[in-house]
Structures are given as C-alpha cells and as structure tokens.
Amino acid sequence: MAVCKVCFRHCDLDEGQLGFCKARIGLNGEVTASNYGRITSLALDPIEKKPLRRFLPGSKILSVGSYGCNLRCPFCQNYDISWSDAAFAYADSAETLTPYELTQIALANIHRGNIGVAFTYNEPLVGYEFVMDTARMVHENGMKNVLVSSGMADLSVLEEIAPYIDAMNIDLKGFTEHFYKDVVNGSLDMVLDFIKRAVQVCHVELTTLIIPGENDTPEEMRDISAFIAGLKDAEGNVIGPEIPLHITRFFPRFHMTDRKATDVELIYTLVDVASERLKYVYPGNV
C-alpha cells in the first residue's frame, strides 16, 4: 500500500487502486499519475479566459486538460472532464501526448499569437508530474506556463512545479469551513496555505464564483478581500492589494440546478465591497 501526498486526503492505495481523484494510482508500491499525458481538451484560448487580466493581456495560450479532480463541486463547469461518470470514462479513450509533443503543438501555434501552455479545464495538480515535465520543456523553448487550479494541493507539489510556472489563476471558492467541507468536499486551510505561497513564486490572480445562498454575502466577501489584501511576498512585503480578484456569476448546472443564476446586481455589489481593499476587482460572466 502507498500513500498519495498530493492533497489533504492522503489516499491509501493498494496495487492498481485509484485515489479519490480517479487520476492517481498505486503502482509498484508508489503513487503516480494514471492520467499522465491523457488529453481530453485542447484549445487556443485568449489569456483573459483563464481568467488572467493582468498577465500578458491580449495574448493567446494553448489550453490543455486531462481528467480527474480531488474536489466534488456540485456546480462544476467542466464536469464532463473532471469528475462525472463520463469524465472517468475518458481514461480509456483520451488521446495521449508526450510533453515533447505538446510543446511542439505550442510552438506551432506561435504564429497565431500563442505564448505557451495553460494547464486547465480539470484539476491539473492531480497529474502534476505531466505538468512539471511539460512546463519545463515549454520554458526551455522560451514560452510561458499558466496553471488554473483549485489550489487543493500540498505545498510540496507547489514547490516542485513552481520553477516552471509563470502565472496562476486559483479558485478561492469561499471563506468558510462549511463551504469547503460540506459543499465542495475540500479543505479551506489547504487552499489558503497554497495561495499564500503561490503569490510568492509567480503572478497570481484569484477567482470566486458567487453561488446564491452559499457564499454570496457582503460579509464573506469582506473576509475574502481582507485575506487577499494581507498577502505578502517572500520578503514579507504586503502585496495583497495588487492581486487581482475575479468575482464571477454562477449559472445552474450539473448537480446544482435548484437555484437561479446569481443576480447581476449582486455581482457588482460584491465587486464594490472587494474594491474597498483591492485595486483590481473584475466581474465575470455578466
């Protein structure tokens, strides 16, 4: 039996057993990524779609996803490749690309405005080995790497990939233990620790999806923006007010169709609340 150390779950895996994320497997007494190089999505996207508003604006980036996730958000926007039954069926049908092949695709799209590779769509850190191997090669070819993540990973994983990542968008899904434990099946402490370290190693922007009845109060947004505003760089200097926050609108889908889309006026109200402490606050999906 081997223990996976990617996230707080620390899944104990027997030989051939998959972890909670359905993307890590016990093999030969160790845990490795069963989704290594297994590609479910590949597209050339505007960088703003990640979303990143203050990292090389106007550029495009080759966006790549696999399958698997270590959260269980009932409102998942990419459930078809993250943790639905259909997503895990991709394990047998997903196309396999090596880091070299993906890097070559990125290079071949430079003429279309591509600046590098974004690891996104599903949770990329459940297959961080492929992220690291590819990102290293992308850097060697003079291009950029972007990570779009929930931040639900151990700091040891972040330290391994950090030298090769130029920018991240991290979901800060809420700011209560209830929301992380009971709604998305995660750990608030783990994502907060991840964010605190991430802002010290690369450009970071944060995203909060506002779900009616769950994380939609001005009080919670004040807590979120206060946390962000207090973030520090590696030298201890406060940099939080400069960190962009995207406040985005929820639409009912997947397992959460019991409520309406977030009111547009509420999004703008919460943008105003966050703007009391933060310089760059952007409404999304409005």
- Distance CA(1)–CA(12), nearest Å, equals 6
Q: Is residue 3 part of a domain?
A: no
Number of domains within the chain: 1
Q: Is residue 20 part of a domain?
A: no
Q: Is residue 140 part of a domain?
A: yes
Summarised one tens digit per residue, pLDDT across range 142-193 is 999 999 999 999 999 999 999 999 999 999 999 999 999 999 999 999 999 9
Q: Is residue 23 part of a domain?
A: no
Summarised one tens digit per residue, pLDDT across range 205-258 is 999 999 999 999 999 999 999 999 999 999 999 999 999 999 999 999 999 999
| pLDDT, position 91 | 65
Q: Is residue 30 part of a domain?
A: no
For the whole prediction, is pTM greater than 0.75? yes
Other C-beta atoms within 10 Å of 139: how many? 18
- Distance CA(114)–CA(142), nearest Å, equals 12
Q: Is residue 156 part of a domain?
A: yes
Q: Is residue 16 part of a domain?
A: no
Summarised one tens digit per residue, pLDDT across range 84-103 is 777 677 666 778 999 999 99
Instruction: Give the structural domain span for 275.
Output: 35-284
Q: What is the CATH number of the domain that holds 138?
A: 3.20.20.70
Q: Is residue 27 part of a domain?
A: no
